[in-house]
Amino acid sequence: MRKNYNKYTGILDRFPFITVALILICAVIFILVFKSRFPMAFFSGSSHQQETRETSGYSILITSPTGDQVFKLVNENETVPISIKSKDIENLDYKLKLVLNGDETIRTFNSPPYDFNWNPDKPGRYELVANLVDDKGSIIASSNTVSFTVEYASEAIETIARSMDIEEKKTSALEASEYRSQNGAPLFSFKCYTPPVIDGIIDEWAVYDKAQIANPTIKKENFTSIKDCSGVIYTCWDDTAFYFAVQVTDDVVNQKFTGNQINNGDSVTLVFDTALSDDFNIPFYNSDDSQIDFSPGNFSGIPPEAFIYFPSKSSKGIEIKSSQTKQGYIIEAKLPWDIFVSYGPSDLDVLGFTASIFDTDNLESTELVVSSSPQFEINNVTTLGTLVLIDGGDLTLTGDTKTSDNE
Ligand SMILES: [Ca+2]
Ligand SMILES: [Ca+2]
Ligand SMILES: [Ca+2]
Ligand SMILES: [Ca+2]
C-alpha cells in the first residue's frame, strides 16, 4: 500500500494543500488591508470609524459595583458606590456619561475623579456602562458593562402580628390620642411580666417589637450604608421602669468620652415627650421632655454610662450594660420611671419618642446620626416619633414569638 501511495500524487491529491495556501494568502491580504483602513477600536464595537482612530489605548473600567454585586439596602437614603478608573481620557475635551439600563444618564463627569454615590429609588436589577462622548454626543468609547442588584428590606418598622385583642388596643390607643403621625410609624412597647435581665445579652427580647434605627438625621450627607451605622431597638415597660435594648451596627467603635460629652463618641440617645397634648406645638424641650444619652464605654477601661442630658438630673438608678459584637455593640438598660418628671406609665399611653445612634469613627466628634424617626433634631420635640404603651398580657405565654419567626 505504502509503495503505491506516491503513484497517485497528482494535481487532485494536491488540491487540499493549494486550497489551504490560498486561504492563508487571502487572510493575510485581508488583514493587512483592513488594518490600514480601520484601527483596532473598530473591532471593539464602536460605530464611529473616524473618531475611533483616536480611541485606541483609552481604557475605561467600572471598578464599583463589581459584576453581579447585590446591594441590600434598608432605606431610601442608602446609595450604591460607583467608581470608574480610566487611562488617557483626562485631558480630552470629552465627557464621561454614566448610563443605566441602556438609556438613563445618571451622571455626567467633566473631569476625574469618576466617583459617584448613586441613590436608587426602587429595587431591581440594573446594568451600568460609562460612555466617553464628544461634544456632539457621539460615543467615542465605552467601559465594561456591569450588572448589579438593589434590594430593600421590606419594612422600616417591624411589628409582630399580635392577637386580635392587642391589635384592637393598638388602634384604640392611637385613635384616642393626638400624636405626630407625620413622623413615621408608631413603635409599640409592651408591658413585661418578667423584666429583662440587664446584662448586655438580648436573647429575652425576641417577644417584643423591634424598630429600625436607620434614618440619617444629623450630618446625613455622610450616610452611605447601614454598615457604617444603624441598629434596632427593643423596648418594654412595667410599673417600675422602661427597658430597652439597642443592637448597633457600627464599623468602627470609638468612644472615649464620658458624662455630658458622651455624644461626641459612639452612643445612643433616647428622647421622650411624656405629655403630648399639653404642649403639642412647643418645639423645645420643657418639663415633660427628657433626653438621655447612653454610652457603651470602650470595652477597655471606660465603663458603659447613662447621662440625663435634659432635664439636668442625676442618672442614679439607671442600670446599663453593654457588650461588644462582631458588627458593633449592644446596650441594654433599665430607666426607672422616677427619673421622668411627674410621669407614670398606663396602658394605652402614647408618647413622643425617638431613638438615635450617634456615630464617631475616626474624627473627634459626631460624624453621623441615624434615628428611628425620619427626622431628628436635638431640642426639637416636633421631630419625635411615637411610642405606644400596651399591656397585652404576658407575651412569653401567648406564643406570639412563633408568629414572627414564620414571617
Ligand atoms: Ca438581657
Ligand atoms: Ca461607623
Ligand atoms: Ca410635650
Ligand atoms: Ca463608630
Taking ligand 2, which is a single-atom ion, which protein residues have CB atoms under 5 Å away?
Answer: 228-229, 250-251, 359, 361
Counting ligands in written order, the one closest to the CA of 219 is 2
CA neighbor of 227 nearest in space, from 37, 361, 46 = 361
From 167-176, 216-225, 265-274, the region with the lowest mean pLDDT: 216-225
Other beta carbons within 10 Å of 7: 7
| CA of 312 relative to ligand 1 center, distance in Å | 28
Q: Which three cell numbers stand for residue 319?
A: 442600670
Answer yes or no: are the C-beta atoms of 118 and 82 closer than 8 Å.
yes
Q: Which fold has domain 157-406?
A: Immunoglobulin-like (2.60.40)
Ligand nearest to the CA of 284: 3
Q: How far apart are CA 241 and CA 344, in angstroms?
A: 9
Residue 33 pLDDT greater than 70, yes or no: no
Domain map (residue ranges) of the chain: 44-152, 157-406
What global pTM score does this model have? Answer: 0.68
Tell me which ligand sits closest to the C-alpha of residue 380.
3
CA of 261 to the centre of ligand 3 (A): 25
Q: What is the CATH number of domain 44-152?
A: 2.60.40.10
Q: Is the pLDDT of residue 272 over 60?
A: yes
Give 34's pLDDT tier (boundaries 50, 70, 90).
Answer: low
Burial of 180 (0-12, 13-18, 19+ CB in 10 A): buried
Residue 363 is placed in which grid cell? 474624627
1 pLDDT more than 60: no
Q: Once rounded to an integer, what is the mean pLDDT over residues 99-115?
A: 93
Q: Do domains 44-152 and 157-406 have the same CATH topology?
A: yes
The C-alpha atoms of residue 325 and residue 296 are separated, in whole angstroms, by: 12
C-alpha pair distances (Å), 193 with each of 153, 181, 196, 208, 395: 31, 29, 9, 12, 8
Please tell me the predicted confidence (pLDDT) of residue 21.
Answer: 77
Please give the span between the terminal C-alpha atoms of the chain, in angstroms, as a whole number: 81
Mean pLDDT, residues 152-162 taken together: 68
In angstroms, what is the span from residue 294 Cα to ligand 2's centroid?
A: 17
pLDDT digits (tens, 9 = 90+) for 355-382: 999 999 999 999 999 999 999 999 999 9
Over residues 71-97, the mean pLDDT reads 85
Q: Give the residue among 232, 182, 185, 224 at the shortest CA–CA distance from 206.
A: 232
Going by pLDDT thresholds of 50, 70 and 90, the confidence category of residue 296 is very high
> Ligand 3 centre from 184 Cα, in Å?
18
* C-alpha 174 to ligand 3 mean position (Å): 16
For residue 100, count CB atoms less than 10 angstroms from its CB and return exposed for 0-12, middle for 13-18, buried for 19 or more.
Answer: middle
pLDDT at 31 over 90: no
In the predicted model, is pLDDT for residue 331 greater than 60?
A: yes
Task: Please report which confidence band the pLDDT of residue 14 belongs to, taking 50, 70 and 90 as the band edges.
Answer: low
Percent of the chain, pLDDT > 70? Answer: 85
| pLDDT score for 51 | 35
